[in-house]
Structure 1
Amino acid sequence: MLIAQLSDPHLCAPDTLYQGLVDSNAMFEAAIERLATLDPAPDLVLLTGDVTEHAAAAEYQLARRLLAGIRQPVLAIPGNHDEREAFRAAFADRGYVPATGPLHFAVGRHGPVRVIGLDISVPGQHHGDFDAATTAWLEAALAAEPERPTLIMLHQPPIETGIGFIDTYRCFGGERLAAIIARYPAVERVLCGHVHRHMSRRFGGSLLQIAPSTTTAIALRLAPGAEPASFVESPALLLHHWRADSGVVTHHVPINPGEGPLPFF
């Protein structure tokens, strides 16, 4: 089973540049076009938050229009730039968004791998919180099919990345999440966005992976007290390839692949 992961498109109002720097709308369209070139095609597409920049109605309308161009099923979770009720309204007809409460879901109808999406957003804040209620919900969801291969996605990573100005806005309560995952070895990956960089780390006995953004990259500044900054780097998506005999292998896929194919000797 092939599962593509896009993250943090930060769709803006028409004719508006994201961060005053780039056309994030056009960059997300390019990501969707890149998806269409993958052979074999993904079976499922995940979108790990910050679908919009300001959670405005026009931005969600644009999201719906662009996502309609993806021929595979799409499962999305909100990020800190989204707004829960606006997000719910925009994705209500997708068949997996709950009518009330946090936007958690567990979906297993698209193949052998189950996807669990967590809404860890804190209204009006940029950090996330894996709180007691989310802990109980996830425990019940995992216990329903404890041996089924599973991907868990949440927007803010529940770890410190070493980039201080991002770690301020991480998902708190990560130790609770890690403790649950450690009891369910069928959790193949914990998938995040938010950081606009590709990163990975062991987490709860599984592997946590942070997807790059389809728009700008957050500066890799590991020095204490470093100031936030963005770079216009090569955007990318992740492609998670699950096989029954080996689990998940993840590929970093540039959206603008460059020159090629060239001879290989």
Structure 2
Amino acid sequence: MQPPAAGTLRVLHLSDTHLTGDGALHQGSVDTTAALESVLARVDGVPGIGLVVISGDVSEDGSPESYAAVLERVGGWAERHGAALVAVPGNHDLREGFRQVLSNGHVLGEGGRPVMHTMEYHPPTVPVWGQSLVAGRRIVTVDTSVPGAGYGEVSEASLERLRTALAGDHAPHGTIVVLHHPPLPAPTALHEALRLQNPEALADVVRGSDVRVVLGGHYHHHFAGSLAGVPVLVAPGVANDTDVTGAYDEESAYVDSGALVVDVAEDGSVWSTPLRVPRPDADPLAFHLDAETVASVIAAAGKH
């Protein structure tokens, strides 16, 4: 891949790593630790990455051990490449375990240097929040997870903190917002039930601001769209790849992994390159849920 243009921040955008503390297979079929290692090996030669982002569902079980495994692998990769590292919780994450290992998600700063944090306790009811400055860009993480649910929501407190951050001094080259549940239409009935509930509220905050791009995950497939005129990029899943062409009321995924390489230029323009890391030695179908099973998951985890 060509090196980034002068003044450009190159971002490695990972999502939905779904690591487990005990090494259990995701959906009974995918070794997510091996999948993550394959993705990191694939992008090892990509030049000029200054920021690594994990946009949620970092863990499958919310255990401190799973976050430690992610930190060892992704954090080690970022340090070796001199890149900052930022992560945000998703619906599978547990805030207590996330904070214990990753603090507010802003783990490494410019050059891959550790970010110092004060030891402050927050109950799980309080969304994870953080911001940092990388290569003249303000990186803001917004926790869209809802404890005990699969759908997403930006709380009033998080909206106000984002509004305040964007109303402050402008970053030299704008803001990048990272969240899990993307403010875009959902590809399947299950994801529709687990979508972000208040994208309009988020749009009201970012409209007219210096936000250059919103990075999200959750859908386990690459999507691109916009919110209030701001590009929205959804990364492929590390754990598997959603079958977006199947029956709407069913849910299937393939054994496949991917990532995005996102270039954010000084003038605010954005260029995204999706990368796939197929695993041809595995059964191509990661899992399949029929319509009845999908309905039961929606009843348990969707918005009522």
1:153 maps to a residue whose letter is: V
Give 1:210-249 correspondences, 5 Å limit. 210-221=234-245, 223-224=247-248, 226-233=249-256, 235-245=257-267, 247-249=269-271
Give 1:89-128 correspondences, 5 Å limit. 89-92=100-103, 94=107, 95=115, 99=120, 100=122, 101-108=126-133, 110-128=134-152
Deviations along 1:142-174, whole A, 9 cap, x unmatched? Answer: 111346411111101123224221011111111
Is 1:136 aligned to 2:160, yes or no? yes
- Which residue of structure 2 lines up, in the alignment, with residue 12 of structure 1? 20
SS across alignment from 1:239: strand
- Aligned counterparts of 1:82 and 1:232: Cα–Cα separation in 2: 22
Is 1:27 aligned to 2:35, yes or no? yes
- Aligned counterparts of 1:24 and 1:88: Cα–Cα separation in 2: 21
CA distance 1:178–1:97, change in 2 (3 Å): farther
Task: Number of aligned residue pairs: give it.
Answer: 253
1:209 maps to a residue whose letter is: L
Q: Percent identity?
A: 28
Is 1:52 aligned to 2:59, yes or no? yes
Contiguous gaps of at least 5 residues in structure 1: 259-265
Q: How far 1:246 sits from its partner (Å)?
A: 5.7
Q: How far 1:223 sits from its partner (Å)?
A: 4.8
Alpha carbons 2:183, 2:227 under 8 Å: kept? no
- Aligned counterparts of 2:186 and 2:223: Cα–Cα separation in 1: 8
Partner residue of 1:187 out of 195, 208, 211 = 211
- Which residue of structure 1 lines up, in the alignment, with residue 290 of structure 2? none
Partner residue of 1:164 out of 178, 183, 189 = 189
- Aligned counterparts of 1:151 and 1:80: Cα–Cα separation in 2: 21
SS across alignment from 2:251: coil
Alpha carbons 2:14, 2:238 under 8 Å: kept? yes
Alpha carbons 1:96, 1:105 under 8 Å: kept? no
CA distance 1:222–1:30, change in 2 (3 Å): closer
CA distance 1:143–1:13, change in 2 (3 Å): same
- Aligned counterparts of 2:224 and 2:205: Cα–Cα separation in 1: 19
Alpha carbons 1:97, 1:105 under 8 Å: kept? no
TM-score (norm 1): 0.88
1:137 maps to a residue whose letter is: R
Deviations along 1:100-157, whole A, 9 cap, x unmatched? Answer: 342111111x212221100121111111111221111110011113464111111011
SS across alignment from 1:129: coil
RMSD: 2.2
Q: How far 1:222 sits from its partner (Å)?
A: 6.5
Alpha carbons 1:97, 1:103 under 8 Å: kept? no
TM-score (norm 2): 0.77
